[in-house]
Amino acid sequence: MIDLEASSIAQDPYPAYRALRAAGDVFYDRSRNICYVGDYQAAADVLRNNDISTSQGVGLEPTVSGGDGAPHNRVRSYLSPAFGAPRVTGIEERISSLASGLAERLRGRKRCDIVADYAMAIPETITAWMLGLDESRLPDIRRWNNAMLSVNRGGCPFSKLKRAIGRIAGRKPDPRNPGIAACRTVLESHLQQAGRKASGGWVTDLVAEKWKEGELSESETVDIGMLMVFAASQTPSSLIGSAVLILARDHGLQQRLRNDPQLLKPFIEEVLRFEAPVQRKCRRTTVPTEIAGVSIPEGTIVQCLIGSANRDPKMFSEPEQFRADRQKNRHLSFGLGPHFCLGAQLGRAQVFLALQALLQSIPSITLADASERTCYADNNLVRSLLRLSVSLG
């Protein structure tokens, strides 16, 4: 029997995904009341299915990630301008300057942790800009992210995530996770201040204005802020870390990307497919449902295994092979349907500019110790390197 909640899966989930697809693509674990979907087409159908809800999947407020239908569409329409093409284009030069400065400071280091010193530093700084937080808060943003990562350690049940975030019937955050409690406290105060005086953070000021106008509740504004802290930092940092690991193992690919900058965008799409930053997207059935021929009762948690769907041989040629120039790369890493990632364009832009700066500034990226075992966060929902020691020649 495949145990898809085993903590060991976080370090290498792909053998379990292959075993699941070989056994039938969809597996309903009655003991846990969880349906695991590993097939690309079945996962895509679930993500589009209005009878399979997000609002009870991960315990968030019904805003961006945890809402459905009209409430979700309402909040998404408010936030869309903060992540559209004009906004992203307007900050690309600032992101490029940030990335270039960090890369130049790292050049020549014989050993550095590229995850902590670069992959995390860039998205965390951009998150601070978005929220209008002073850069003295950057260590706090990192601590808050680590606290969120720890909640789903080893396939932790979603009820613990709900309790930790403190969104069940207005209860306070779980005191056993002080990092999340601190994040919520800081954001509540920050948003209240932004309601009186603009913070300079384009997301914070936008939602604070909607709060003042009565379009968003206080709980919704705080939920959006916490989502920005985690999603806006974690996904790009995971993607940059995975990309650097692939590059450090392949010097020829590094040179190809330096010689042909147009290859960088398809390279990033292939990293998204090959090492999806979000490995599972979670839903819950609202009515009895059939998924790929398997009958699923109402109230079942459905986990779309994005990391498995992205390696489905029925969808991708040679899916276990990393091909930097793969064409028509229709991966599911940013989701599909009404919940397609709102920040996908910003995420792609910052990863592109981060890798571009690194490749331009650093003539050679190598593993500092080829025998060192890669270590990922002990979390089955995300794929995130904890550290990566590299030499930057």
99 domain residue, yes or no: yes
Domain of residue 376: give its range: 7-392
Which residues sit opposite 284 in a β-bridge? 53, 301
DSSP string, 23-87: HTSEEEETTTTEEEE-SHHHHHHHHH-TTEESTTTS---TTTTS--HHHHHHHHHHHHHHHSHHH
The DSSP 8-state label assigned to residue 337 in this structure reads G
pLDDT tens string 65-114: 666 777 778 888 888 998 999 999 999 999 999 999 999 999 999 999 99
Q: What is the Cα–Cα distance from 53 to 175, expressed in whole angstroms?
A: 29
Give the span between the Cα atoms of 280 and 383, in whole angstroms.
Answer: 10
* pLDDT grade for 230, boundaries at 50, 70 and 90: confident
Residue-wise pLDDT tens digits, 115-161: 999 999 999 999 999 999 999 999 999 999 888 887 765 544 455 55
User: Which range, of 49-63, 65-79, 240-254, 293-307, averages the lowest pLDDT?
Assistant: 49-63
Q: Among 306, 300, 307, 305, which Cα is nearest to 283's? A: 300
If DSSP codes are grouped into helix, strand and coil, which group holds residue 290? Answer: strand
Whether the predicted pLDDT of 176 surpasses 80: no
- The closest of 204, 159, 162, 207 to 180, measured between CA atoms, is 162
- Would residue 325 count as lying in a domain? yes
Closest of 328, 307, 306 to residue 317, by C-alpha: 328
DSSP H or E run through 104? helix 85-106
> Helix, strand, or coil here: 216?
coil
Whole-angstrom distance, CA of residue 364 vs CA of residue 359: 8
- d(CA 238, CA 384) in angstroms, rounded, equals 5
Closest CA to 223 of 201, 205, 207, 206: 207
Domain contains 1 = no
Q: How many CB atoms lie within 10 A of CB 98?
A: 20
Q: Is residue 51 a part of any domain in this protein?
A: yes
No. of helices (H) and no. of strands (E), the chain: 15, 12
CA angle (25, 27, 30) in 5-degree steps: 170
Residue 334 and residue 273: Cα distance in Å, rounded?
Answer: 10
Q: What is the pLDDT of residue 59?
A: 39
Q: Rounded CA gap, 393 and 373, in Å?
A: 22
Report pLDDT digits (tens) over 38-67. 999 999 999 988 778 765 444 345 556 666
CATH code of 143's domain: 1.10.630.10
Handedness of CA 63, 66, 71, 75 (dihedral sign): positive
Q: Are 238 and 382 within 8 A, CB to CB?
A: yes
For 180, the 3-state DSSP assignment is helix
What's the Cα-to-Cα distance from 339 to each of 56, 114, 228, 283, 332, rounded to whole Å?
14, 31, 15, 11, 11
Structure tokens at 117: 């010193």
Instruction: Please give the single-letter amino acid code of residue 367.
Output: L
Residue 2 lies in a domain: no
Quote the pLDDT of residue 344: 95
For CA atoms 36, 37, 43, 48, give the dihedral sign: negative
User: For residue 71, what are the CA distances in angstroms to 16, 50, 74, 78?
Assistant: 36, 14, 5, 11
Instruction: Give the range among 255-259, 270-274, 359-363, 373-377 with minimum mean pLDDT.
Output: 373-377
Cβ contact 280:380 at 8 Å:
yes
Cβ pair 291, 45 in contact under 8 A: yes
Least confident of 4-13, 53-62, 188-197: 53-62
Per-residue model confidence (pLDDT) at position 157: 47
**Cα dihedral angle (92, 267, 341, 149), rounded to 10 degrees?**
-100
Tokens standing for 180? 């999340």
Q: Does 340 fall in a domain? A: yes
Confidence bin at 172 (pLDDT 50/70/90): low
pTM recorded for the entire structure: 0.92
Per the model's pLDDT, the better-predicted residue between 337 and 268 turns out to be 268
What the block records as the tokens of 304 is: 């779309």
Q: Which residue has the tokens 């989701």?
A: 335
Q: What is the pLDDT of residue 159?
A: 53
Whose tokens are 């680590």? That residue is: 146
In the chain, the number of structural domains is 1
